[in-house]
Amino acid sequence: IRAQSVAVLGAPFSRGQKRGGVEHGPKVIRDAGLIDRLSGLDYSIHDFGDLNFHYIEKDEPYMDVKFPRTVGAANKMVSGAVSRAVGAGHTLVMLGGDHSLAIGSVAGHAQQCPDLCLIWVDAHADINTPMSSPSGNLHGQPVAFMLKELQDKMPDIPGFSWTKPFLTSRDLVYIGLRDIDPGEHHILKDLGIQYFTMRDVDRLGIQRVMEVALDHLLSRKQRPIHLSFDVDAFDPSLAPATGTPVNGGLTYREGIYITEEIHNTGLLSVMDLVEVNPTLGANPEAVQATALLAVDVIASSLGQTREGARASIDQNPSVKDDTEQLCL
């Protein structure tokens, strides 16, 4: 699957939750040097710029769900853009924006690759239904829109008539969970979804977690991977500029190991990097640290290694060559 070209798509959108600022995520991630970093990995890079979202007037809540029409329309646009990019043969990186955007991102990916599997790296399970959601914010509900098994639990929400569930609970793995709502816990157990909390990461180690996760998704057949990475999966000491931080998150090394292992499958097809909110860092350094971390995660997913570049030819001239030059 590994495409030689990478497309970058910005999705400056914040209505899946209540805090402003997350719509500036794509800009700060780009400003932290994303495109240069990816160009150094020998891809041709296509930066498609940012989608231009429209906020719908009088977007009344529906069953406590906030901004349903605006979020629905934004995701329809994301879905089309992702589908076109994947159809054109690119590996796609979507920069959020809040995590409600994954509804469109994964749906668009599934249009091109119906057999995809989903790796969700996040402090939160984001699998509330409109009925179980404590907040009504759609960034806590995207996975519920995707799963066929939850179809009977999902009301017809205005703005979402364009999408139908396309994943089964077997096609999904979570890593990094540490703040699961009661309704979500019931769904995870009821559907037998494979998930790894931070306690599991502590107990098993990240190497075993990735081994089991990838085996669960790929043992029957190799298929395209969608990686949806919420920066709040990391410990807040590393990624402070995000809307719903939870203590006790992934270390830098654990997060990078996850992405290295996904890259090593050769199956990554689309990734989302979401929930970087530059207005929430305590100071500019905190924002910069979060944005640089996002760049590291994306670059690692696309093959940046921790041992540095591997030289294809001997870069070290022998002493003899040098002395000959000196004699000239």
Known catalytic residues are: 99, 122, 124, 126, 139, 230, 232, 275
Length of the chain: 328
Lateral strand order in the sheet of 268-274 = 44-50, 5-11, 91-96, 268-274, 225-230, 117-121, 172-177, 194-197
Rounded to whole angstroms, the Cα distance separating 150 from 165 reads 8
Rounded to whole angstroms, the Cα distance separating 195 from 34 reads 30
The residue assigned the tokens 């509330």 is 128
Token pair recorded at residue 107: 């749906």
171 annotated among ligand-binding-site residues:
no
Rounded to whole angstroms, the Cα distance separating 174 from 172 reads 7
Spell out the SS3 assignment of 182-244: HHHHHHHHHHCCEEEEHHHHHHHCHHHHHHHHHHHHHCCCCCCEEEEEEHHHECCCCCCCCCC
Longest Cα–Cα distance of the chain, Å, equals 84
200 annotated among ligand-binding-site residues:
no
The H or E element spanning position 87 is helix 68-87
Rounded to whole angstroms, the Cα distance separating 281 from 277 reads 8
Task: Evaluate the omega torsion of the peptide bond into residue 97 and state whether it is cis, within 30 degrees of 0.
Answer: yes
230 annotated among ligand-binding-site residues:
yes
Rounded to whole angstroms, the Cα distance separating 318 from 106 reads 52
232 annotated among ligand-binding-site residues:
yes
Q: Please answer whether residues 167 and 118 qualify as being in contact, where contact means their C-beta atoms are separated by less than 8 angstroms.
A: yes
- SS3 category, 292: helix
50 annotated among ligand-binding-site residues:
no
In single-letter form, the type of residue at position 157 comes to I
Residues forming the annotated binding site for Mn(2+)? 99, 122, 124, 126, 230, 232
Annotated binding site: 99, 122, 124, 126, 230, 232
